[in-house]
Amino acid sequence: MQKAILLVDGPLQAGIAAKLAQFVYANNGEIVDFDQYVDTEQTPRLYFARIEWALDGFAIEPQQIKAALERELGTQYQLHLNLKLVTRPAKIAIMVTKQLPCFYGMLTKILSNEWYAEASMVLSNRMDMEVDAKRFDLPYHYLPITPDTRVEQGNKAMAIWQEQDIDLVVLAKYMQIIPENVLASYSRKMINIHHSMLPAFVGAKPYHQAREYGVKFIGATAHYVSEELDEGPIITQNVKPISHKQTAKELVSVGKSIETETLLRAVQLHLEHRIIISGRRSIIFE
């Protein structure tokens, strides 16, 4: 089913919900989902909504909807209107280094048709996982990185993504720093998985630190990238209890499992357009 999803945010004003619903109904659209949230702790209070309706039979041509919305609602209500048209599977570029779980987790979701998406390509700074990409007949782009070539290879990656019309880049345990210009261009189209409950244990060996520190839980954080990698808006987090009995190696294994679960959830929320970023917070319409 082809559909439109409208993400709305702006200052709360009387009658916004009614106006939004009327826009869809007046144009013969059938609302499938209408979820709203008001943040009453900000001044002025902030209004957020996600409206999903079927494109079939809708009176306005898909390409004209955005303009019609702006005309009727945008100026008067000072709303930020973010329209998503779902008309084909999303195209995902997967960035990997050498860890398998996140990669296989994503492929499982796609092959099981749980996501309306395709894995369009795999990019890596190493050759290790070419064999894995080949199992699924996925194009594998080998882009080795040195400090001197980082920016050049980043631009090359962006060129490949643009040529293939990539909708989302997933850093599925990609162990390289992303150049600033790439982060800036893809800040809402690039999801990273971080191996800890941000903001704690931001270093490279969080599971060793967790064991050393004697913490009783470990976690993972999926987030949009921002110009400071590992500091972008959080989409999802998960934790699992651990005990003193687990070795650092076992914690790494538990950690990979949490990372995979967390990343998969974040990607799915993104693919279903259920996320609005407001400041550094994410509003999630589940």
Q: Which is nearer to a copy of itself, 102 or 171 (CB)?
A: 102
Q: Which of 10, 179, 219, 255 binds a copy of itself (CB under 8 A)?
A: 219
Residue 77 in the binding site for a copy of itself (CB under 8 A): no
Q: Which of 61, 112, 148, 163 binds a copy of itself (CB under 8 A)?
A: 112
Tell me how crowded residue 179 is: count the other CB atoms within 10 A of its CB.
Answer: 18
Q: Which of 9, 39, 56, 230 is flagged as catalytic?
A: 230
CA–CA dist 218, 238 (Å, integer): 8
Residue 283 in the binding site for a copy of itself (CB under 8 A): yes
CA–CA dist 204, 256 (Å, integer): 14
Residue owning tokens 């945010």: 9
Conformation bin of residue 198: beta by default, left when phi > 0, alpha when psi is -120 to 50 = beta
**Assigned token pair, 70:** 């702006």
CA–CA dist 17, 248 (Å, integer): 51
Task: Measure the N-to-C terminal CA separation of the chain; round to a whole number of Å.
Answer: 20
230 tagged catalytic: yes
As beta bridge partners, residue 275 has 284
Site string for a copy of itself, 136-175 (x = CB under 8 A): x---------------------------------------
DSSP assignment, residue 125? S
CA atoms within 13 A on the CB side of 226: 13
Please list every residue from 22 through 41 that binds a copy of itself, using CB under 8 A.
22, 25, 30-41
CA–CA dist 116, 70 (Å, integer): 28
Q: How far is the CB of 17 from a copy of itself (least distance, A)?
A: 5
Residue 135 in the binding site for a copy of itself (CB under 8 A): yes
Residue 21 in the binding site for a copy of itself (CB under 8 A): yes
Q: Which of 2, 80, 88, 114 binds a copy of itself (CB under 8 A)?
A: 114
DSSP assignment, residue 1? -
Q: List residues near a copy of itself by CB under 8 A.
A: 14-15, 17-19, 21-22, 25, 30-41, 99-101, 104-105, 107-108, 111-112, 114, 132, 135-136, 197-201, 211-217, 219, 233-234, 236-239, 243-245, 247-248, 253, 256-257, 261, 279-284, 286
Residues noted as catalytic? 230
